[in-house]
């Protein structure tokens, strides 16, 4: 008799139709989908339920439960990670022998594995952002007190974020959560591990003939270290200023905002001399724009996408107020923008091109394209014109990014 214990969070399938009495490696099931994935010490399989894909990782009960808890805690702290869905425990095979536990996570829609980004070369414009995205993810984890312990290309997924990339942690097996930002020693160790693992991943692609010839793995990992150090310094360093040097404070805040961080608090301390001030920005969770857009429209999008969409709402509101001569509230402006602008435009994308980009990214590209056309034609271009051009001249040449399937080998 098949026995197992399955604890999952609400809003997901029950996974009861899967053959839990077999080791994952032996599964041959209609729900399996061959997703592209990296190197793992564990057996990892992917299953699809309607348009949702879930990753199943076979491991020990202790590790599965520990990782589940770590992912939940990091999610509560607003870190970019995959969603932990559940743990399957106490599995047995047909004759009652114990099988490993399985951790279930939700695969990120529209995510791009590194093999796709480095090898297939579908989006060369994204490559410079890969290193930045990885460095940013590490900085965010370290600021939040999370020591990763196994940062590697295989343990990260990337999503488009308004022309850039956002990196997500997908494997938290070795994560340790500390109550305060990591100290220098642990950070240095985590980065050393990351550099070695990323180099290994890239050299492996190279050995398999899967890495573009113009990329140097060792150069890329040197960049990762450099970008991490620069970003950490920008976010955490202490500046000493003259008391009248206010513009430097403003510069600093602006740079932090540009990096996608909000500043919760400025610690301005008079030093012994009394003539100098010390500032120490306290960096808080990124995501102000995402939260604001979600509050106003219900859309859940990436930070840079949200910033762009909020800008468009603001422009729409100003235009509307100009026409009517009356003030429009935040809520009304956002609701009208959704109904009159966003939803109609997204709906006009032909069905066969819908999977090319997720809707907010599509909208972001539409805004970019509209600006580009306006510059080229020397006049204002309407959304409808821009969409028609995007649909005919750009989207057909983009590959489908809803789910990146494994290369048939």
Containing H/E element for 265? Answer: strand 263-270
Query: Alpha carbon of 194 to those of 148, 154, 191: distances in Å?
Result: 9, 11, 5
**Edge to edge, what strands does the sheet with 52-59 contain?**
5-8, 83-89, 101-106, 52-59, 44-49
Contact between 196 and another protein by CB under 8 A: the answer reads yes
Contact between 208 and another protein by CB under 8 A: the answer reads yes
Contact between 36 and another protein by CB under 8 A: the answer reads no
Measured CA to CA, the distance from residue 332 to residue 309 in angstroms comes to 15
> Out of 30, 94, 95, 180, which residue is the one contacting another protein (CB under 8 A)?
180
Question: Which one of 5-13, 174-182, 286-294, 365-373 is the stretch in contact with another protein (CB under 8 A)?
Answer: 174-182
Contact between 134 and another protein by CB under 8 A: the answer reads no
Measured CA to CA, the distance from residue 35 to residue 204 in angstroms comes to 19
Asked if 153 and 203 touch (Cβ cutoff 8 Å), the reply is no
Asked if 282 and 267 touch (Cβ cutoff 8 Å), the reply is yes
Please, which residues bridge with residue 44 across strands? 57
The SS3 assignment for 19 reads coil
The SS3 assignment for 368 reads helix
> Out of 69, 127, 189, 248, which residue is the one contacting another protein (CB under 8 A)?
189
Min separation Cβ 275 and another protein, Å: 30
> Out of 174, 236, 257, 294, which residue is the one contacting another protein (CB under 8 A)?
174
Asked if 58 and 23 touch (Cβ cutoff 8 Å), the reply is yes
Contact between 185 and another protein by CB under 8 A: the answer reads yes
Contact between 353 and another protein by CB under 8 A: the answer reads no
Question: Which one of 135-143, 178-186, 353-361, 365-373 is the stretch in contact with another protein (CB under 8 A)?
Answer: 178-186
Asked if 159 and 110 touch (Cβ cutoff 8 Å), the reply is yes
Asked if 252 and 279 touch (Cβ cutoff 8 Å), the reply is yes
> Out of 173, 286, 303, 361, which residue is the one contacting another protein (CB under 8 A)?
173
Instruction: Decide whether 173 or 361 has the Cβ nearer to another protein.
Output: 173
> Out of 21, 24, 45, 59, which residue is the one contacting another protein (CB under 8 A)?
59
DSSP secondary structure code for residue 119 in this structure: I
Min separation Cβ 58 and another protein, Å: 12
Asked if 205 and 211 touch (Cβ cutoff 8 Å), the reply is yes
Contact between 203 and another protein by CB under 8 A: the answer reads yes
Is the dihedral angle over the CA atoms 349, 352, 353, 354 positive or is it negative?
positive
Question: Which one of 146-154, 308-316, 337-345, 393-401 is the stretch in contact with another protein (CB under 8 A)?
Answer: 146-154
Question: Which one of 43-51, 56-64, 106-114, 368-376 is the stretch in contact with another protein (CB under 8 A)?
Answer: 56-64
Question: Which one of 171-179, 240-248, 271-279, 295-303 is the stretch in contact with another protein (CB under 8 A)?
Answer: 171-179
- Could you tell me how many residues of this chain bind another protein (CB under 8 A)? 35
For another protein, the binding residues (CB under 8 A) are 39-41, 59-60, 63, 149-150, 152, 154, 173-174, 179-180, 183, 185-186, 188-189, 192-193, 195-197, 199-201, 203-205, 207-208, 210, 218, 221
């Amino acid at each position: 008799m098949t026995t197992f214990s399955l604890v999952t969070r609400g809003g997901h399938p029950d996974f009861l139709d899967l053959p839990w009495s077999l080791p994952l490696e032996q599964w041959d099931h209609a729900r399996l989908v061959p997703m592209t994935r990296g190197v793992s010490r564990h057996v990892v399989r992917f299953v699809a339920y309607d348009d949702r894909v879930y990753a199943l990782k076979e491991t020990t009960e202790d590790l599965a439960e520990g990782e589940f808890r770590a992912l939940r805690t990091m999610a509560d702290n607003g870190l970019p990670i995959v969603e932990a869905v559940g743990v399957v425990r106490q599995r047995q095979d047909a004759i009652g022998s114990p099988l490993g536990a399985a951790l279930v996570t939700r695969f990120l829609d529209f995510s791009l594995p590194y093999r796709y980004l480095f090898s297939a070369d579908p989006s060369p414009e994204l490559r410079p952002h890969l290193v930045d995205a990885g460095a940013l993810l590490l900085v965010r984890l370290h600021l939040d007190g999370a020591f990763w312990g196994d940062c590697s290309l295989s343990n990260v997924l990337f999503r488009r974020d308004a022309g850039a990339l956002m990196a997500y942690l997908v494997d938290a097996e070795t994560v340790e959560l500390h109550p305060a930002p990591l100290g220098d020693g642990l950070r240095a160790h985590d980065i050393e591990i990351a550099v070695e693992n990323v180099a290994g991943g890239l050299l492996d692609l190279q050995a398999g003939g899967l890495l573009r010839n113009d990329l140097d793995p060792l150069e890329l990992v040197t960049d990762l270290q450099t970008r991490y150090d620069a970003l950490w310094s920008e976010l955490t360093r202490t500046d000493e200023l003259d008391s009248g040097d206010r513009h430097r404070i403003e510069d600093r805040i602006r740079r932090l905002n540009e990096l996608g961080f909000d500043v919760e608090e400025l610690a301005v301390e008079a030093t012994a001399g009394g003539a100098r001030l010390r500032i120490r920005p306290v960096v808080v969770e990124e995501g102000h724009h995402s939260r604001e857009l979600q509050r106003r429209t219900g859309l859940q999008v990436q930070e840079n996408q949200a910033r762009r969409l909020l800008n468009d709402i603001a422009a729409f509101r100003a235009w509307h107020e100009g026409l009517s001569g009356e003030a429009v509230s935040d809520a009304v402006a956002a609701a009208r923008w959704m109904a009159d602008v966003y939803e109609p435009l997204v709906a006009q994308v032909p069905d066969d091109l819908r999977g090319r980009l997720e809707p907010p990214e599509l909208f972001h590209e539409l805004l970019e394209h509209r600006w580009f056309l306006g510059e080229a034609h020397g006049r204002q271009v309407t959304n409808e014109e821009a969409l028609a051009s995007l649909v005919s001249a750009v989207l057909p040449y983009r590959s489908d990014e809803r789910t990146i399937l494994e290369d048939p080998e």
